[in-house]
Amino acid sequence: MSTTTAAAPVRTQSAPAPKHPPGHEPVHNYLLEPGPSPDVRGLARVWPTVKAWVTTVDHKRIGVMYLFAVSFFFAVAGIAALLVRAELMNPGSDFLTADEYNRMFTLHGVMMVFLFIVPSIPGSLGNFVLPIMLGVKDVAFPKLNLASFYVFIAGASIAVYAILSGGIDTGWTFYTPYSDETNTAVLPMTMAVFVAGFASILTGINFIVTIHKMRAPGLTWNRLPLFIWALYAVSIVQVLATPVVGITMILLAMERLLNIGIFDPALGGDPVLFQHFFWFYSHPAVYIMILPAFGVISELMGTFSRQKVFGYRAIALSSVAIAMLGFLVWGHHMFVSGQSPLSSIVFSLITFLIGVPSGIKVLNWVWTMYRGSVWLTTPMLYALSFLFLFTIGGLTGIMVGTLAVDVHLHDTYFVVAHFHYVMMGGTVMAMIGGLFYWWPKMFGRMMSETWGRISAGVVFFGFNMTFFTQFILGSQGMPRRYFTYLPEYHDLHQVSTIGSWFLGLGLLLVLGNMIWSLFKGKPAPGNPWGAATLEWTHATSPPDHHNFHRTPLVTHGPYDYGVLFSGDGYSGDGAGGDGSGGDGSRGPAPIPNPELGAPQEMEKSIDLGLAQPKPSRD
């Protein structure tokens, strides 16, 4: 081959090119169409636009509406958290009474768990990205998808009503017997959880059927993006576990209303049974919260290391393994509840087993970066934050899963810090990273990279300042959910509170960046990051109303980045994580310029004879 002058050059920097291949410019931008025609102006546009959005069955619009809804609840619950932290600045009452404090942390917990984290990534990013990643026009049941959003809003409205009618002070777990006796709004709040649960179930059913039945030609199970694998595992958990929390809430309501002895020992019930019921859902629920984040991180690690995700099958199957094992560990929340020692031992053992698939994932992400070209964009910075914080959260999870240690650490700030490291350091970081990653695809605008990186730094610093101190506080015995504390905890509480302000500032920067980009951001090319999954290679930014001009044909794995630049367009095996097949032998793929974008593969499609005629070249 030495004499040939026409060796395929590997483009390290794509030449200034049109943002979209000719004939692939966005035709029906989903954000604008269907909607009022351009000659309708002024206020007359409002009603048709609103009507088009609230009656839409387009998964992208539903995803955007979910994004706004969960962001709103995240903001409200975040403000509640800031108030809780501010109250803890000094021992004793600063501006909240003890009762108000109880209501405040319960509001924070219930809203964050049931109205933000559980629907966050599947509802917003999942709804938006999943069908495009699979190469289809929409999810399997579009109307059910819209119904799930409305059910979620209905549940959220009941929750808001419960808060306005006096709030609730049981903590987000609604433990009996206190929740049987308290005079606060337990009934409306449990009904809100019951209703919001159905939104989860509907989303789960939709995703399972879509993944099983609607994949584009060539998209085999071994070529599914890892985000899809994660959402698949999550959907199974949602469908199987969520009914249980519904039943639990109904039982609690029956007991409060009709005095049936289920959980109340005075009526012949068993209060620990409530904890069994509750955690049989709520432990799988924490995997509902974290698994989609794993999926997002897998995408980010591959794209921003510019090479195949290491151990593709191991990551995919470990998602499913975590989903399955997650059903067998709920008792580790109940080590000091009076449950039998035998079950505590069994639960503790299985809890350790969860560490294996989680460890596989972390190891594979780290190995994905090894010998790649790590490209430190904002999404990657959030992904690296995730890696760091989730590992701390996971390892402390092993500590509190240890039977003897947990007896001392149970209900201290150590546990609070542990699950915040997993939930916020894990899920929220991944969600923000995913938002920065898919934002150009969702809204057709680039976010500010500089401010994005600053925000990542501030969030990371503020987060650790807030919660690492709580590990220390917890190990020294500061109990959780306490309104006041002994003087020796004063300094660390102050550090934690100041950290929470940094954290809030960082999240405000993220919000400001998003709003700024909607109005001032540079127009995004179709594939700014040079990623190789269908939503980047075959769709415009923002996607058309029906996602694709023609049904895409998948010819390579989801992380064969080199294929886009080498032009041969075919890789032998799908997504072998072993580096064989494809063109993985050539090392990491080049880094594209995000403002120009990487080549797309619009031509690789199945011609059904339904394509729009190409516009004449002017």
Partner 1 sequence: MAENVHNTSAHDPADHGHHGHHILSAKLLLTVFFSLVGLTIFTVGLGLLEQNEIVHLGAFSVPVALAIAGVKATLVAMFFMALKYDNKVNLLAFSLSIVFLVVFFVFTFLDTGFRGSFDDFSATPIDQTQLEELRLQERNDAILPDFEAQPLLLQGDTALIDPTP
Q: How far is residue 429's CA from residue 297's CA, in Å, rounded to a whole number?
A: 10
SS3 14: coil
Residue of the chain from 6, 15, 257, 342 that contacts partner 1 (CB under 8 A)? 342
Would you tell me how many other CB atoms lie within 10 Å of the CB of residue 465? 18
Q: Measured from the CB atom, is 93 or 340 closer to partner 1?
A: 340
| Count of residues that interact with partner 1, criterion CB under 8 A | 25
Paired with 520 in beta bridges are: none
Instruction: Decide if residue 338 touches partner 1 (CB under 8 A).
Output: yes
| Exposure string over 564-600, b if 16+ CB within 10 A, otherwise e | bbbeeeebeebbbbeeebbbbeeebbbbbebebbbbb
Q: Measured from the CB atom, is 135 or 311 closer to partner 1?
A: 135
Least distance in Å: CB of 289 to partner 1? 19
Q: Measured from the CB atom, is 494 or 555 closer to partner 1?
A: 555
For 440-453, the DSSP string reads HHHHSBPPPHHHHH
SS3 567: coil
Q: Measured from the CB atom, is 449 or 573 closer to partner 1?
A: 573
Stretch that binds partner 1, among 81-89, 185-193, 212-220, 517-525 (CB under 8 A): 212-220
Build a one-symbol-per-residue string for 256-295: x at contacts with partner 1 by CB under 8 A, - elsewhere.
--------------x-xx--x---x---------------
Residue of the chain from 12, 55, 340, 450 that contacts partner 1 (CB under 8 A)? 340
Q: Measured from the CB atom, is 208 or 509 closer to partner 1?
A: 208
Least distance in Å: CB of 240 to partner 1? 5
Instruction: Decide if residue 141 touches partner 1 (CB under 8 A).
Output: no
Instruction: Decide if residue 331 touches partner 1 (CB under 8 A).
Output: yes
Build a one-symbol-per-residue string for 220-259: x at contacts with partner 1 by CB under 8 A, - elsewhere.
x-------------------x---x---------------
Q: How far is residue 475's CA from residue 378's CA, in Å, rounded to a whole number?
A: 34
Q: Measured from the CB atom, is 97 or 343 closer to partner 1?
A: 343
Q: Measured from the CB atom, is 248 or 605 closer to partner 1?
A: 248
Peptide bond before 34: cis, by omega within 30 degrees of 0? Answer: yes
Q: For 116, how many CA atoms within 13 A lie in the half-sphere containing its CB?
A: 20
Instruction: Decide if residue 402 touches partner 1 (CB under 8 A).
Output: no
Paired with 325 in beta bridges are: none
Q: Measured from the CB atom, is 55 or 343 closer to partner 1?
A: 343
> Is residue 155 a contact partner of residue 149, using CB atoms and an 8 Å limit?
no
Give 64-81 as a 3 state SS string: HHHHHHHHHHHHHHHHHH
Instruction: Indicate the burial class of 308 (C-beta count within 10 angstroms; 0-12, 13-18, 19 or more).
Output: buried
Instruction: Decide if residue 339 touches partner 1 (CB under 8 A).
Output: yes
Residues making contact with partner 1 (CB under 8 A): 212-213, 215, 220, 240, 244, 270, 272-273, 276, 280, 327-328, 330-331, 334, 338-343, 345-347
